A and B are shown apart, each in its own frame.
Chain A
Amino acid sequence: MQQQAIVKVDHVTMRFNMPKEKVDNMKEYLIKTLKKQIRFEEFVALSDVTFQVFRGEVVGIVGLNGSGKSTLLKIISGILEPSEGSVKTYGAISPLIELGAGFDMDLTTRENIFLNGSVLGFDRNFVRSKYDEILDFSELRDFENVAVKNFSSGMIARLGFAIATLVKPDILIVDEILSVGDFLFQQKCEKRINELMSGGTTVLIVSHAIEQIERLCSRVVWLEHGKIRMIGETQDVCDLYKISER
């Protein structure tokens, strides 16, 4: 097996300052700073997380609500800067943190495909060449010139997924998005992810559906209160996780 690290998470700690009271105007800020009254409560979302993902792996991240899964994905995709430690990624990342991020509700499907393509950093000509594929995958050909604000949430999710997976990214980050849409669409998405995986894409998945993780992943990271509880083969981790959940 090719052991080339594509994501290196190195002693990552993420702290959030939670002000005890909300200060968002200048007068209060000035007064509080002068009185040295701004107090923060520190909330540690992740503490000292270290692991590596190798090329072509599918890694699942499991954990209860508030265990830091989404924060970790956001740090890996560059949306958040870690307070300590570093993350190195090698290759293009396609984050599916939330489908349809960056859609402008007033624009049509067509315009949104190009806008969202460039939000993800794709070249315009490239999006043009994949345009038909996106329409077909999302089954929205009849709605090509309809403003997105008239869409149902399922339609938006389909469009978002189609755009985000139109390239073969080196790293695909999926955050609980597979739970949207109907049964058929979920199957379709899984099929697409499987296709990408066989094409060599590395995938990071967060999901509460443990069956889905078992089906797709080769390794699992189990987070608990911001720390790594366990990391290892899918079956071993999932078995223990299921027991602890009970």
Chain B
Amino acid sequence: MIIKRKRMILICAAFVCLVFSLWLSVWQFSADNIQNILENQKTITYPVDQLTTTGWDETEFGLMSVEENPAVTVQGEEPVYVRNILIDGSVDREVTEVTVEYTESADEPFTEEKSFSAPVEIKNKDTYLMIDRTVAGMRLELCEDIGCELNLEKIVLNPRNLNVNYQTLVLSFLLPFIVVLFALELICEREGFRKTFSSLRQYRPLLYDLVTRDIKTKYRRSILGILWSILNPLLMMLVLTAVFANIFRYQIDDFPVYYLTGYILFNFVSEATTFSMSSIIGAAGLIKKVYIPKIIFPLEKCLYALVNLLFSLIAAVIVFLIVGVQPQWTMLLFVVPIIYLFIFNFGISLILATLNTFFRDVGYLYGVFITLWMYLTPIIYPISILPGWMQSIVHLNPLYHYVEYFRAVTIYGTVPSLSENLICLSYSLIFLMIGILVFQKKQNKFIFYI
């Protein structure tokens, strides 16, 4: 019954997921703005030169408070209803509430009786204050201490911009939808999946043998052998440090460490995916003559890349010691991003291996793509040098999150937030499930194309 209604269920699931993701990414981030639009509230923008500031002094960075409770005053001609205001700028102190004194007509003075504290909400890096009353003027105490820095662009009453968080939009749609798709396939093709995965256990020695074979044949006839796995990233790091360290000396503290952490992770991805891509074609001799679960071959290449990564990590440890990075307990968490990344790699590898078996063009195309991908990932450069729109593109790059996660735990000594973890995990799971589905559907046809 489920099989017959598969298409129906999928369409419904897509719809539900779309609504869910829109709700999560648009409504959650700009609920008040949507209400402003629906109720047709008047939007008024005050650029910084139309605002009166008291208790602030201008410095080269913006404004600095010289009195306690410095204020910014917004003065309109006539009273209007203000639901919320957008403060476009930044205060260097964290505030959760702002005291607002307000007037109901233009010539009324500000008094402490007509004041309330407005909650501060930060959505998508913008600061909002909830006002919810009819006012003519407002006096905002954005800071309490002396020495606060304020960088103000403008204040908007009843703003109408829709802040869509694209990352949330994409992930919160894809993840539940693919889970449904995957579950459906799993139910409908129970036998096929069982056949693929039940025998994997039996072939564990094969995995081991293939990985050792790859390592052995990689360094055949080289004198230093496996040492190259450690030397390679070290030498690369030396070259790039020589070239770039000077350019980014203001933005990056320890360039060798910054670069190496990004490089070894990126190398892990590029090795695992490019090797896996041709793994099915490379194993043609075996696939045509013996029954082996074909998923072994991409999995083996991913494991092989993982082994290479472990050697590169030794290089990283050496550099960490030389540069003198403070050891922190968070460094122990380095396995977490590697696990996420391994799952992600495996998913991508399955997709690429399948595609490449049918169309050899994919191999050439991917060579170009991986170069583009490398430049879209902040490995050599810090993300802060990019313009805003480029930054939001880079944020959609899954690899950015893995690299940042890895740097957070190893260099900066911070534990990434729950949402950062969710983003990484979602990307991994999405690609893993797509990969398994694609591979499973097509694997019986491989033999005719190799």
Contact = CB atoms under 8 A, between A and B. Distances in A.
A93 B290 CA distance: 10
A104 to B, nearest CB: 6
A41 interface: no
A121 B206 contact: yes
A124 interface: yes
A98 B287 CA distance: 12
A102 B283 CA distance: 8
Given A16-B448, A121-B206, A107 B217 contact: yes
Contacts of B208: 118, 124
Contact of A118 (B209, B285, B359): B209
B290 A79 contact: yes
Contacts of B359: 24-26, 29
B324 interface: no
Contacts of B447: 79-80
A111 B210 CA distance: 11
Nearest to B365: A26
Interface string A224-239: 0000000000000000
**Interface range on chain B: under 10, 10 to 19, 20 to 34, or 35 or more?**
20 to 34
Interface string A65-95: 0000000000001111100000000000101
Which residue, of B290, B291, B292, B360, has the highest number of chain A Cβ atoms within 10 A? B290
B133 interface: no
Nearest to B192: A81
Given A24-B360, A118-B205, A119-B286, A107 B291 contact: no
B288 interface: yes
Interface residues of A, number: 32
Contacts of B448: 16-17
A106 interface: yes
Interface string B376-409: 0000000000000000000000000000000000
B419 interface: no
A114 interface: yes
Contacts of A122: 205
B290 A107 contact: no
Nearest to B199: A121
Contact of A79 (B203, B205, B209, B287): B287
B290 A124 contact: no
Given A24-B360, A25-B361, A26-B361, A79 B288 contact: yes
Contact of B291 (A16, A77, A104, A106): A77
Contact of B444 (A27, A29, A81, A97): A81
A104 B290 contact: no
B202 interface: yes
Nearest to A94: B290
A232 B73 CA distance: 102
Given A79-B287, A79-B290, A119-B290, A124 B213 contact: no
Contacts of B289: 79, 95, 97-98, 101-102
Nearest to A175: B289
B220 interface: yes
Contacts of B213: 104, 107, 111, 115
27 contacts: A24-B449, A25-B360, A25-B361, A26-B362, A29-B359, A77-B290, A78-B291, A79-B288, A79-B447, A80-B447, A81-B444, A97-B289, A101-B290, A102-B289, A102-B290, A107-B216, A111-B216, A115-B209, A115-B210, A115-B213, A117-B205, A118-B208, A119-B206, A120-B290, A121-B202, A121-B292, A124-B205
Given A79-B447, A97-B290, A114-B209, 15 more contacts: A24-B358, A24-B360, A26-B359, A78-B291, A79-B287, A79-B289, A97-B289, A101-B288, A111-B213, A115-B206, A117-B205, A118-B205, A119-B286, A121-B199, A124-B208
- Give 10 closest A-B pairs by Cβ, nearest first: A101-B289, A78-B291, A118-B206, A118-B205, A81-B444, A124-B205, A118-B209, A26-B359, A102-B286, A115-B209
Interface of A: 16-17, 24-27, 29, 77-81, 93, 95, 97-98, 101-102, 104, 106-107, 111, 114-115, 117-124
